[in-house]
Structure 1
């Protein structure tokens, strides 16, 4: 039970993102850059307000903790957070562009590639250990992605760009421990907004006036950015980057179903088989957690039966 809530946090975060196309597709007439600008600016304003009103004590504590760090550790911490903001910016822009200008299936492939990249980065950079069953699950996932890229190699190219940027964010934040997660997320998003601000006058179009645009932007800012990113960082407090990365497959599996059932994008038998294999890989990768829970419960039942026996 110690890790159950962290698993649930990751599952909820990626399930939410699976439905992202439902609010993003209605904005396909707008520039991907404009959607990115207003999404991040809205998030930054909202989170700074929440921090100023309700999280001032945590903010002061975070600054005190950073000041108390040795200079090398403080520098590494700042690099992790600045790098995290840059990776988020790249991920958000590439995702919005590909979803609105290419296809939902291409973005789904991106978040199928991401868990593989995350697992490999975590293995090489963080030295996270995987057992043979988990490596088998990674192999299944790679096989499923290769099946999907067979029909359209460019989807794989887009997928690697989107997937690597988010994988790099996940791995960097796994080492970013000991700080309030909401304060860290506020920093990531606020820095993202500052990085984008110089580009706004040159690349933005006239400010949209449609009420639907602003309603959907606020839904994206709160429901599809702040909440799932916070749940994601919370899950990383106890779960390995590779585990969180593999759970990310929930996102594209839901996205794939929406592409087929809601937006009626053409789906081949090959794609259905590939997604089925990838779904199996998620179950196999996390089977050790389910088995551990089952084994932990069995002794309790045995002890209960013994307690009931006379003498």
Structure 2
């Protein structure tokens, strides 16, 4: 994802986020209309608490998208990866504090080591890592809400998208009319023309599919396990930032990330051993 959005660096970040919302909304709403008919929205909003909770989760994910795209194109990919390293820790804390999930001693040890790495990075990063902390808080809160609301994942994403689509359309129309759009006016990317437009449209697909998978996963597995799996994406983001985009990664950052990777290894090995020790289900 950071490499994809980097291709659209010349397009203003707000325009990119608006395109993500509009095209993912069209994709998801179209599929829901074909699959369930026109009543899908009414049926979804009839679910208790769905209306206001999906409005809140939609606002959180829009904020997360916007900050992430801005940070990538402003040269802060390594700090965004830090945010998504912090996010699994936050998921573990939320799983214990809000959902009353339990961790064993080894898992608590892993959380403590990873927390030490985060504190080290915060103290030695060179500046307060507000991008990382804001990304972690917004996406962690989004995941918790989607865990709590009993809405099928695609329908939930469809409702979230519909809440956001009108403001996004207004922003796009304003940008195109003032020559700042990347779709029709090509004011931001004159050398690319319709190539940039195609990337913006396909960004809706890249937005919808991972979120559908994520929303489905958080309802099927313990929230603390979601935290473990979410270490994969920030590792890839870190590699993209350092090896491809040439961002700095000094000794202090390496020490902090090493703490987090050790914690991940402890958490993963403990889970593997416990699964092997568990008695097999009959039949």
TM-score by length of structure 1 reads 0.78
C-alpha contact (below 8 Å) 1:77/1:176 kept by paired residues: yes
Task: Show the 5 A alignment for 1:175-186.
Answer: 175-177=148-150, 179-186=151-158
Runs of 5+ consecutive residues of structure 1 not aligned to the other structure: 1-19, 301-311
Name the residue aligned to 1:15.
none
For 1:221, the equivalent position in structure 2 comes to 204
Superposed CA RMSD: 2.5
Q: What is the 5 A alignment of 1:39-78?
A: 39-53=20-34, 55-56=35-36, 60=39, 63-64=42-43, 67=46, 74=48, 76-78=49-51
Counterpart residue number, 2:121: 148
SS of 1:126's equivalent in the other structure is coil
In the comparison of the two structures, how many residue pairs are matched?
270
Report the CA distance shift for 1:198/1:218 in structure 2 as closer, same or farther (over 3 A): closer
Aligned residue for 1:237, secondary structure, equals helix
Gaps of 5+ in 2: 187-192
Q: Could you tell me which of 174, 177, 189 is aligned with 2:147?
A: 174
- Partners of 1:50 and 1:30 in 2: CA distance: 28
- Supply the distance in 1 between the matched residues of 2:25 and 2:237 (Cα, whole angstroms): 26
1:285 shift after superposition: 2.4
Report the CA distance shift for 1:65/1:217 in structure 2 as closer, same or farther (over 3 A). closer
Supply the distance in 2 between the matched residues of 1:126 and 1:211 (Cα, whole angstroms): 47
The answer to whether the aligner puts 1:260 opposite 2:242 as a matched pair is yes
Q: Is the 8 A contact 1:119 1:245 kept in 2?
A: yes
| Alpha-carbon shift at residue 234 of structure 1 (Å) | 1.4
SS for the counterpart of 1:27 is coil
Are the aligned partners of 1:43 and 1:189 in contact in 2 as well (CA < 8 Å)? yes
Structure-to-structure mapping, 1:130-209, within 5 angstroms = 130-154=103-127, 156-177=129-150, 179-202=151-174, 205-208=180-183, 209=186
The structure in which a higher percent of residues are helix is 1
Mean CA deviation greater in 119-128 or 24-33: 119-128
Q: Which residue of structure 2 lines up, in the alignment, with residue 28 of structure 1? A: 9
Q: Per-residue deviation at 1:247?
A: 2.0
Are residues 1:89 and 2:62 paired? yes
Matched residue, 2:189: none
TM-score (norm 2): 0.85
